[in-house]
Structure 1
Amino acid sequence: MVQARSAAKVVLVDDASGLVLCDERSGTVQLPELRFESAWPPLGGRLSEAIAAQIGVCGRVLEPLDFVTVVMTAGPGQDAPVGYSWRPPADVYGQVTVVDRFLDQDRWRPPWYRTGWAERADAYVDEVLAATGRRRLGDSQQVKHWSLSAVLRTAADGGDVFLKSGLPPYAHEPAVTSWLATQGCGPFATIVAAAAPDAWWVANDFGGADGQKGSPADQARILAQLCRVQVAMLDQTEALFALGCRPLRMADLASTIPDLLSRDDLWAAPKELRNLHRAFDAHEATQLRGLGSFLSRCCADLETAGMPDTLIHGDFHPGNAVLRADGVLLHDWSFAAIGNPLLDLACARYDASPEQAAAGFDAYLSGWSGVVDPAALRRAWRPAGPISAFAELVKFVGLVDLVGEAHAFNYLPVVYGWARRLLGACAADRA
């Protein structure tokens, strides 16, 4: 038998009464706890399966409070299993700090963290399906549920559909995706419908194989497809701007350097659960604060290197690529912007194995031959290393600020990861 490696406290709230499920099997009133064989509980749709299997109650994720505590809602009329009871929320007050804060505060939450959102989303999916002569074949399943977005998958005749809802700064994703699908530069997701007031949209399942599981040759294909799209978009920046893609200029990126490097709330923070104990030590913080002038020079060098502005994916990694028979499909254009294309290579530079990186870079760079002066590529390649890592750091710090203190835990571990990659990139460049 595999030993469970992690546990999650669950606040399971009855939709109708507002009562909370409590575990009384030990003789005291406690929040239920789920156990998992993974290092961290899956804070997404799999929690619904876990609570049904381990406790016997049907629920769905409402709001993760940290990496090991989650609020779920239960459909009304479910009896408490043997050893459990439905009690007022006050009966669990004082057990878990983040739960107390959840019960105390009417703080900002994205729409999908509020009761009733799932029912409205399901009604919209049904409306979209009916408009196309289709119908659902089962309950919607949670695919992703965190502070940046919510994704539901619904089985339907004619193929599954996905509903996605995101925060307002990223509401241009469906328009960008639909437009790219008309440009003849590869397969893209088929957007069936979008509703601006709720910032949600429905797309057909695009099938294919997860790019994260591809071979080194597949990774090279993914990078080559990114290059293909970017080359095709070289003369389309005005259209992209009209769709909601904003420019990411080197001067603007450089202007963020002083404030970001002086963020003591990040670089002097203690190691704790909310950042998975990945916060910087004093030496790392000192190193990071000393990068200002070097990063400014890199921004200036990249600005003058001669690479043209084009479409930037903004969150490019193999998990946002699908390998299909008709080519590589790139998806999740939430962060789509306009700027230096080499900024998209951060993950490829720092997360790939040396073999994958070598094959992928050759495939990507060869796509620019005949389009950009090879000397410009050589000039751009060196400063693009540190600056692509810095751009990722800026993005994730921005997300921390956007979602606020209650939800920052979703991004803080990644902030420290990119900050350490940045330190490594700058050290290698200076060597």
Structure 2
Amino acid sequence: MEVRARLAQQVFTLEMPDDFWFPDVEPMLQALREQYGVEAVVRTCLSEEPITYQLEPPEWYDDELRWIGQHVHVTGPWAQVKTWGLSNVLRIPTTDGDVYFKALSQASTEPGALPFLFAHEPRFLQLASTDRPGEVPAPIAIDEQRAWMLLPGLGTPLAQETDVSLWIDAVRNHARLQRSYAAEPERLLEYSCADRRLAVLDTELDRLLEPNKLTRRLDPAALATLPDRAKQLREAITELAAIGVPETLLHGDLHPRNLAVRDRKVLAFDWTDAALAHPFLDLVTFVEKRSPLSADQRVRDAYLAEWEEYAAPAELRRAVELAEELGTLYQTITYLHLVDHLTGPSQATILRGGDFWMKHLLAVQDR
């Protein structure tokens, strides 16, 4: 794959693997350094076909690096790891190991856009790590106004682990964290989590029945099925609510690469989507084909066992079925909220994600 990078009046051409994803800029910047001797950072991605970046000198991050230096002792060269319309991540070596700087998008809003759904992750992690120490990553420092935070390295992705006991521990601990907030949902709203309880999800479903950037991409036959599908989804919402599992903390993007393992302890990170919602909706992103252990029955049983005080095992299994169905709705609505706040390749990526979830939402016609 040919990638282009522009710095002032210069244009550099690089060959990257065919599966290269434009937000993961570190290998491209390394190739730029090795092939051309150029040190630079990515300001933005201008296009996807071909992938074209606008570069800036490393001094572009002077303000961020000054702030980082107030909180850690930097011991060597830093690297830009990821950047796109939702976040920007740097890796910095320190006397205590690598730490990560993350800046969240200060999203611009189109006229009439839906609200930006992302939680204020720095605030959430600072507060949650204080009252649930060791259960979520504790920031080294945050700047709430600028949506900056500095996090310690958390380990290797759970997706790389083959020991099923680690996967069981991951879901069991996540369920216990969720349950710990079940009696105090208002605290989560104080932490800036989005309110996406089932009643809210029912209301959000109305937006899919109106013209929007996702439904306009449907062919007429698929669009015609949407009203009947909405009726089925409302029935699923009613049934899931009746089972009695309390609505509480939801990660919102709990997949095996957003869980990290260090010293056999697993922590979820990337809490930008944190919400007050039905907890089982996290399973729709956790279970994925590329990670077979995510679908292991022992893993699912361990998660459900943590909820048996609220419902019988058969009811919990039914709740999972309903949550898997409603999870497609939840994710589709998430992408619908995000798309109005992005431009260029980042918006195109979110539109493709929305298309993926909309396809799955419409695929199940018989319950």
- Shorter-chain TM-score tier: 0.7 to 0.9
Whole-Å separation in 2 of the counterparts to 1:321 and 1:71? 29
Deviation (angstroms), 1:194: 1.1
Q: Which moved more, 1:246-255 or 1:343-352?
A: 343-352
Contact 2:92 2:100 in 1 (8 A): yes
Match of 2:112 in 1: none
Structure 1: runs of 5 or more not aligned: 1-5, 14-19, 23-31, 77-115, 130-134, 270-279
Match of 1:370 in 2: 309
Compute the TM-score of the two structures, normalised by the length of structure 1.
Answer: 0.74
Contact 1:233 1:310 in 2 (8 A): yes
Deviations 1:131-175, CA, capped at 9 Å, x for gaps: xxxx21123211221110111111111222211111355463223
Q: Which moved more, 1:318-327 or 1:376-385?
A: 376-385
Whole-Å separation in 1 of the counterparts to 2:355 and 2:168? 28
Match of 1:337 in 2: 275
Task: Give the ranges of 4+ consecutive aligned residues of structure 1 lying more than 6 Å apart after TM superposition.
Answer: none
Q: Higher relative contact order by CA 8 Å / sep ≥ 6: 1 or 2?
A: 2
Match of 1:123 in 2: 66
Match of 2:46 in 1: 65
Whole-Å separation in 2 of the counterparts to 1:405 and 1:232? 40
Deviation (angstroms), 1:365: 0.6
Contact 2:335 2:350 in 1 (8 A): yes
Whole-Å separation in 2 of the counterparts to 1:351 and 1:262? 32
Compute the TM-score of the two structures, normalised by the length of structure 2.
Answer: 0.86
- The reply on whether 1:138 has 2:76 as its aligned counterpart is yes
Q: Report the residue type matching 1:125 in the other structure.
A: I
Identity %: 26
- Indicate which of 1, 4, 11 corresponds to 2:6: 11
Higher-Rg structure is 1
- The reply on whether 1:21 has 2:10 as its aligned counterpart is yes
Deviations 1:197-253, CA, capped at 9 Å, x for gaps: 2110112222x2211212261333322221121122222323222221232122221
Contact 2:202 2:237 in 1 (8 A): yes
SS at match of 1:319: coil
Deviation (angstroms), 1:372: 4.0
Structure 2: runs of 5 or more not aligned: 107-115
Q: Report the residue type matching 2:33 in the other structure.
A: A
Q: Report the residue type matching 1:142 in the other structure.
A: Q
Alignment of 1:254-403 (within 5 A): 254-263=202-211, 265-269=213-217, 281-288=219-226, 290-325=228-263, 327-349=265-287, 351=289, 356-357=294-295, 358-374=297-313, 376-403=315-342
Alignment of 1:119-198 (within 5 A): 119-129=62-72, 135-167=73-105, 170=118, 172-184=120-132, 186-198=134-146
Deviation (angstroms), 1:300: 2.1
SS at match of 2:145: helix
Match of 2:111 in 1: none
Whole-Å separation in 1 of the counterparts to 2:219 and 2:170? 36
SS at match of 1:11: strand
Q: Report the residue type matching 2:52 in the other structure.
A: V
